[in-house]
Structure 1
Amino acid sequence: MSLSGIFPIDRWNFTTQSMLNVLSEEHYAELVSHQSEQKFRKGDVIFREGSVPSGIFLIRSGKVKKYKVDNLFKEQIIYVAGPNELIGYHAVLSEERYPDSAAAIEDSLISFIPQDDFISVLHRSPAFNRRLLKALSHEFTVLANSISVIAQRTASERLAIALIVLREKYKEAGSEENEVILNISRMDLANMAGIAQENVIRLLKEFKAEGIVETDGRKISIMDIQRLVKKSNYH
């Protein structure tokens, strides 16, 4: 079932997938002319907060979490990126160190694009430049929503929103809309929702008892998206 009309999923997803679509064949070829592909296993770190960037990353397959770690080494997942999304470009554009870390949450294939090629295409393609600015502006809305949820929502509402957002990510991977299965650890789910892992386990049991989800190990099947949206209490 589509979320159209019942949940504003566009306010929760970055829009970097469409950025490459505005490039001409010539500019796209230039962008990827020196790319290198690397396979990352689940849990592998792609880049760490505070390190110096030398390029950007294009996710070919798999999923990647962008996260920050506090002084107590607790993660807060900022965003989950999927196929065809770009990551790591904020630090390149600002000429600063990475403001967050990125790691694979499942086996992933990722292209590394040197920053010189990225910057060169950005200068040569006004359409790409405009699309990037639009994407950056939209990301502010996404991050503002995330902050609002952490500050104002109950644990149940936070978990419901996290599951809705992840459902859209896994649906994009090719699952049938009514058979979307999330494959994510309870710890990552807790770090995404901003709640304790034990609360995630307890709330998933409640959601399961209500027929909203089914669980099989770390896999979570969304059975009733309408009731899950109602749980989110998002207006």
Structure 2
Amino acid sequence: MTLPPRLAARLRAARPFARLAPGTLAQLLEYAHVESLAPGATLFREGEISEFVHFVLDGSVGLAAAAEKREGTIIEFFREGETFVAAAAILRLPYLVSAVALSRARVVAIPAAVFRSVLGRDPVFARAMVDVLAHHWRLLVEQLKDLKLRPTAERLAAYLLVHADAPLEGRAVTLALREPRRALAARLNMTPESLSRAFVLLRQHGVSNAGRSGVRIGNLARLRRFAYGASAVPPSSPPRPRGG
């Protein structure tokens, strides 16, 4: 099923599809379809064979994992304009995680066989996917550093800083936390109670509520010093680009 032109245009504007020739993009999307998901709906499950590469049109999707006799957790969030689980499709391996809608969401599903075929023929697309996968690797390393090196409040501060779209130090910024607080706690490897305590502690560093699901950072430089210490060294990964 070919995607409607307006949806194809959404993909054309996002990495890793932005530089594809129109004919190549048409081949990639010829058999793609859109999945509409209610909050809590499962897109695929851990251990299933990867049949699709996914692109978020709207909403938020969480990659979730579970262990026997232990409560599951959220590994990462993906929002509109981002591509996810390409590695499983490229390697023809099962999914390492499940994908769950954290809000109402629409996701484009591109057949893995078509994705691999275009990837093998088009060097521009291959290079774009290298960039996306390299960025995902850096996100993973940064998350491991947070989990191993930072207490809960500093971990939350680092997360807020990464997602704050504000290039000017010292300026106040407001950001929306679109995922449920329980999902955010799982993503940061905290209990919901620990997350609440971390937000209370961050009030001392200029963080306050902004509406129902927003957070205001009064001073980015001040919060950065708290999260990363006196050196105020930010994460090596840049803010997440669309598609990665």
Same fold by TM (over 0.5)? yes
Q: Residue by residue, what CA displacement relative to the aligned partner does 1:168-212 show, whole Å, maximum 9, x if unpaired?
A: 5xx9xxxxx944222332211111111222111112123346541
Instruction: Tell me the percent identity.
Output: 22
How far apart, in 2, do the equivalents of 1:116 and 1:144 lie? 29
Aligned to 1:192: 187
Aligned to 1:213: 208
Alignment pair present for 1:53 and 2:47: no
Aligned to 2:241: none
Question: Is 2:60–2:105's contact at 8 Å kept on the other side of the alignment?
Answer: yes
Kindly provide the amino acid, as one letter, of the partner of residue 83 in structure 1. Answer: E
Choose from 41, 46, 49 the match for 1:44.
41
Question: Is 1:123–1:129's contact at 8 Å kept on the other side of the alignment?
Answer: yes
Question: Is 2:153–2:201's contact at 8 Å kept on the other side of the alignment?
Answer: no
Q: Identify if the C-alpha distance between structure 1 residues 63 and 146 changes in structure 2 by more than 3 Å, giving closer, same or farther.
A: same
Aligned to 1:159: 156
Q: Identify if the C-alpha distance between structure 1 residues 83 and 119 changes in structure 2 by more than 3 Å, giving closer, same or farther.
A: same
Q: Identify if the C-alpha distance between structure 1 residues 119 and 162 changes in structure 2 by more than 3 Å, giving closer, same or farther.
A: same
Matches within 5 A, 1:135-174: 135-168=132-165
How far apart, in 1, do the equivalents of 2:95 and 2:81 lie? 20
Q: CA deviation at 1:167?
A: 4.1
Q: CA deviation at 1:145?
A: 1.3
Aligned to 2:97: 100
Alignment pair present for 1:69 and 2:66: yes
Q: Identify if the C-alpha distance between structure 1 residues 100 and 115 changes in structure 2 by more than 3 Å, giving closer, same or farther.
A: same
How far apart, in 1, do the equivalents of 2:130 and 2:206 lie? 42
How far apart, in 2, do the equivalents of 1:21 and 1:133 lie? 14
Q: Residue by residue, what CA displacement relative to the aligned partner does 1:15-38 show, whole Å, maximum 9, x if unpaired?
A: xx4211121111111111111112
Choose from 216, 224, 239 the match for 1:229.
224
Kindly provide the amino acid, as one letter, of the partner of residue 184 in structure 1. Answer: E
Alignment pair present for 1:114 and 2:125: no
Aligned to 1:22: 19
Structure 1: unaligned runs, 5 residues or longer: 1-16, 172-176
2:50 partner SS: coil
| TM-score with structure 2 setting the length | 0.78
Count of residue pairs the alignment pairs up: 211
How far apart, in 1, do the equivalents of 2:134 and 2:53 lie? 19
| Larger fraction in helix | 1
Q: CA deviation at 1:65?
A: 1.4
What RMSD in Å do the two structures reach over aligned CA positions? 2.2
The 4+ residue runs of structure 1 with deviation greater than 3 A are: 165-168, 208-211
Alignment pair present for 1:88 and 2:124: no
How far apart, in 2, do the equivalents of 1:211 and 1:146 lie? 23
Aligned to 2:199: 204
How far apart, in 1, do the equivalents of 2:91 and 2:23 lie? 26
2:62 partner SS: strand
1:180 partner SS: strand
Question: Is 1:156–1:231's contact at 8 Å kept on the other side of the alignment?
Answer: no
Kindly provide the amino acid, as one letter, of the partner of residue 191 in structure 1. Answer: A
Structure 2: unaligned runs, 5 residues or longer: 1-13, 167-171, 234-244
Q: Identify if the C-alpha distance between structure 1 residues 157 and 198 changes in structure 2 by more than 3 Å, giving closer, same or farther.
A: same
Q: CA deviation at 1:151?
A: 0.9
